[in-house]
Amino acid sequence: DAGITQSPRHKVTETGTPVTLRCHQTENHRYMYWYRQDPGHGLRLIHYSYGVKDTDKGEVSDGYSVSRSKTEDFLLTLESATSSQTSVYFCAISESQGQGALDEQFFGPGTRLTVL
């Protein structure tokens, strides 16, 4: 397995509380991603990072913010959690293999978040 850990693995919280999920990698890969996975929607990109302090929005970024102060850590924050953010969150990493090569994404084990 690629060296990716996510914490916590499970969390139950209440509406309106802030929540931070952590992704940690030991592969020294440049790119990191946060996805959410919901029934009927598949995997959707929330935010991604292309380097330390370099981040950008994905398809479903509203209500989420991210930070990357070190290569190995990528944090996802829900500023004020809502029930619609109940989901399974996956972190992924990749490294550019050069022009014309596949940049495989490796996924972490996921965090199951329930917002009551």
> Is residue 8 within the footprint of other proteins (CB under 8 A)?
no
Min. distance of Cβ 12 from other proteins in angstroms? 16
110 binds other proteins (CB under 8 A): yes
Could you say whether residue 96 binds other proteins (CB under 8 A)? yes
The reply on whether position 63 binds other proteins by CB under 8 A is no
* β-pair partners for 50: none
Cβ–Cβ under 8 Å, residues 59 and 41:
no
**Residue 89 Cβ vs other proteins, minimum distance, rounded to whole Å:** 11
Report the residue count for the chain. 116
5: Cβ–Cβ under 8 A, 6 or more apart, which residues? 23, 24, 25, 108, 109
Residue 39 three-state SS: coil
Binding positions for other proteins, rule: CB under 8 A? 4, 30-31, 33, 40-45, 48, 50, 58, 90, 92, 94, 96, 98-100, 102-110
